[in-house]
Structure 1
Amino acid sequence: MNNSEKIKNIVPLLALLTAFPAFSTDMILPAIPSLAVLWDEPLSVVNLILIGFFVTYGFSLLFYGPISDRYGRKKPLMAGIIIYIIASILCAMASSATALIAFRILQAAGAAASSSLSMAMTKDLFSGNERQRILAYISVIMALAPMFAPVVGGWILAYLKWHWIFIAQGAMGVLGLLGVIRTPETLKETSNAPVSKVLHSYVNLLHNRIYIIMVLVMSLSLLPMYSFIAGSSDIYINGFGMSEQTYSYFFAFNALALMTGSMSFLKLGDRIKPKHLMTGGFVGLVVGAAIILTIGNYSPLAFALPMALVTYSIGISRPPSNHLVLEQVHKDAGAASSLLIFTYFSLGAVGMWLVSLDVMERLQILGTITLVCGVLTFIAWMVLQKQGIGSKS
């Protein structure tokens, strides 16, 4: 099979697997305000269906990566998707916030296999500039998930009950499972070491100073996006008085900006050095945050446009950022991918918690988080470049 055929066959499945978190979180977003009213719970409690998912998802990633290095990618991936399908059915049957939070935790434990192992599979199959382009292609396709997921969720709420959102997620899991069953194992050589020793690979990674610094810096740049996910429904529905369907369109517009950023990298990556695109993306975070804090509360559009700049900036910087992080390791790709995505989601959960606090207006909290993360990420990236990191990018 030549490279073009390999890409044609595997990229759609990798994109679907990587999109599991977006589908699992964004489809339920339009229902969060109504669930808070239904169960008479504050937003900080109802948002635990997001925060609990993200925290569990992140910790579960740490197990799938090393296990896949020991037994291959396919078996752990299939096991995770089966857990996801069962948990989705249980979520649809939940009758209280507590039950839904618990079942979402189980759902996250299953879904963690998808994005972690899809990134490891990408490293198995591709290298160098080709991997950067594949990561960008996946980012473009993956961006369709947060674009359509809340719209689908909004329309489900318009005609059916919220339970059907999780039935739809279970169906997506079945589709992913069928794709994995038909896909050959991508890891050519598995480790013969016991799982306990394979888990020790995290200790080795923690001693890789450049890898750890890069993971933290790039994860920090994504924190504003996760904060927006948790706070957007309250900002648009309760703050600006939108309906659930209208909110889903504004959220989709934001997701379109993320996809446009990834597409821009594909178009510009051959003409502009990836390190310069990353620098521009981090500057975009700061500029977008400043506009949000200045005029964001004037109208939905005044907030949506600078927020779109923020997510566009994340979209254009994420493919080269992921590639640069993975370039810092030469073995234990599964563990390295798991630790990378674990950090993404762990810091993302922190952002979700911060934006749920009632210390000031939700929009102002989001703008402040974005500004602080943008400034810190930009400064750290400048220091890393002076040390020679990314000089070949």
Structure 2
Amino acid sequence: MKFRLLLLISLLAAFPPLSTDMYIPAIPLLREQWGQPLVVINLTLIGFFISYCVFLLVYGPISDRYGRKRPLMAGIGIYIFASLACAASAGIHMMISARVVQAAGAASASALSLAICKDLFDAKSRERVMAHIAVIMALAPMMAPIIGSWVIYWSSWRWVFVIQALMGLVAFLGVYRMTESLTTFSTVSPRKVIGVYLRLLGNGRYISLLLAMSLLVFPLFAFIAGSSEIYMTHFGLGERTFGFFFGANAMASMLGAIVFGRLSAYVRMEKLVTVSFAGIMAAGFWMLLEPHQSPWSLALPMGAMTFFFGLNRPPTNNLILEQVDRDVGAASSLLVFTFMILGALSMGIVSLQWNDKIAVLGTMGAITGSLTFVFWLRFKSVFLARYER
């Protein structure tokens, strides 16, 4: 039962990478098929994440009041319908609209997966559970572009969205069979939800740690938006080869989570987090200094950066949630919202007409890694005090 629950939570948490990474190999094809520039085609990604962020803020407080199951089933139902609409898109405008609706449904899954973890596990157990989930869900961005590229090669990009609809159906059935995880329901009415978020914004520990950790998504989401153009247009790789390069980068995230899970029993969490921030900073400078003459000039430093991100994500997500005692669903939603809205911003930045997108990614990694590293060294004792109490 516990294993099935972990698989379900992992699937829910993996909705964003499954909804984006499987589709990325199709971006150059859609540019050619619909005659649109990259900045317009990437609105299917940016619009997805903006809509996703907005609805994250809706599902969290609703789930605190009405439970996790009903909002999840409603959101996944919307996701299934919108995935089929994406598959039927006849042009870029319909695709953008369908992706916006698809994101509105997907937001329920990843926001409430964290809330379910908080419901069911204490702090120490939750950290280990999140490490296991991170390993499982890392398979999604690793396999999704490979699967997407093969689906596109053998049939059509439309079947990518049909597969996503089937994934949604599996999640819907899993949630239907799940026991409600929330035991204490909020009495805050939906009209007073804004007060919940104002209360969270007044929690200085939660907000400051959340913002510091969220900076690290800049190079990762920019890589998602820019990788197909760099690998396929700039370096001339085919769809299948691109899928393997992209999947290998996602494997680095999985390895980081595995290493954390293994070392956390012997090395204190804060030491592993400190090493991870230093590693992201170093990988950013490596990317800036490396001559950009082959795909490996992006793959190697980006793989290192992603590894260190995977190393810190389970403990830092857990540490952020430890800064709150109530409104957990809203806090979980705001956490993912902040990650995704900054990620959408970075996607917009990298989609501009830069001469060297690899240098843009390296600059993002070096700056955000440095800022987060310095912040952590200065204030880590404040956040660890609640974790260790």
TM superposition shift of 1:390: 2.2
1:215-265: per-residue Cα shift (whole Å, max 9, x none)? 111111122111111111111001111001000000010000000000001
TM superposition shift of 1:199: 4.1
Question: 8 Å contact 2:323–2:383 — kept in the other structure?
Answer: no
Question: 8 Å contact 1:265–1:316 — kept in the other structure?
Answer: yes
Number of the residue aligned with 1:310? 305
Higher mean C-alpha displacement, 353-362 vs 248-257: 353-362
Select which of 311, 317, 324 maps to 1:322: 317
Superposed counterparts of 1:24-39, under 5 Å: 24-39=19-34
- The letter for the 2-side match of 1:388 is V
User: Aligned residues, how many?
Assistant: 387
Number of the residue aligned with 1:88? 83
Select which of 380, 383, 386 maps to 1:389: 383
Is residue 40 of structure 2 the alignment partner of residue 45 of structure 1? yes
Question: 8 Å contact 1:231–1:366 — kept in the other structure?
Answer: no
> Structure 2 CA distance, aligned partners of 1:129 and 1:62?
27
RMSD: 1.1
Q: How many percent identity over aligned positions?
A: 46
- The letter for the 2-side match of 1:227 is A
1:311-345: per-residue Cα shift (whole Å, max 9, x none)? 00000000110011000000111000000000000
> Structure 2 CA distance, aligned partners of 1:272 and 1:250?
31
Is residue 137 of structure 2 the alignment partner of residue 142 of structure 1? yes
Question: 8 Å contact 1:147–1:255 — kept in the other structure?
Answer: yes
1:141-166: per-residue Cα shift (whole Å, max 9, x none)? 11000001000110011111111110
TM superposition shift of 1:193: 3.1
Question: 8 Å contact 1:84–1:170 — kept in the other structure?
Answer: yes
Runs of at least 5 residues in structure 2 that lack an aligned partner in the other structure = none
- The letter for the 1-side match of 2:330 is A
- The letter for the 1-side match of 2:368 is C
> Structure 2 CA distance, aligned partners of 1:105 and 1:290?
35
TM superposition shift of 1:167: 0.5
Select which of 238, 245, 257 maps to 1:250: 245
Number of the residue aligned with 1:158? 153
Select which of 263, 282, 285 maps to 1:287: 282
TM superposition shift of 1:44: 0.9
Number of the residue aligned with 1:221? 216
> Structure 2 CA distance, aligned partners of 1:198 and 1:388?
28
1:161-184: per-residue Cα shift (whole Å, max 9, x none)? 111110010000000000000001
Number of the residue aligned with 2:352? 357
Number of the residue aligned with 1:192? 187
> Structure 1 CA distance, aligned partners of 2:38 and 2:76?
29
1:14-58: per-residue Cα shift (whole Å, max 9, x none)? 000000001000011001011111111111111111111011101
Give 3-state SS (helix, strand or coil) of 2:340's partner: helix
- The letter for the 2-side match of 1:163 is R
Select which of 47, 54, 63 maps to 1:59: 54
Runs of at least 5 residues in structure 1 that lack an aligned partner in the other structure = none
1:63-114: per-residue Cα shift (whole Å, max 9, x none)? 0000000100000000000000000000001111111011000000000000
TM superposition shift of 1:198: 4.0
Is residue 120 of structure 2 the alignment partner of residue 125 of structure 1? yes
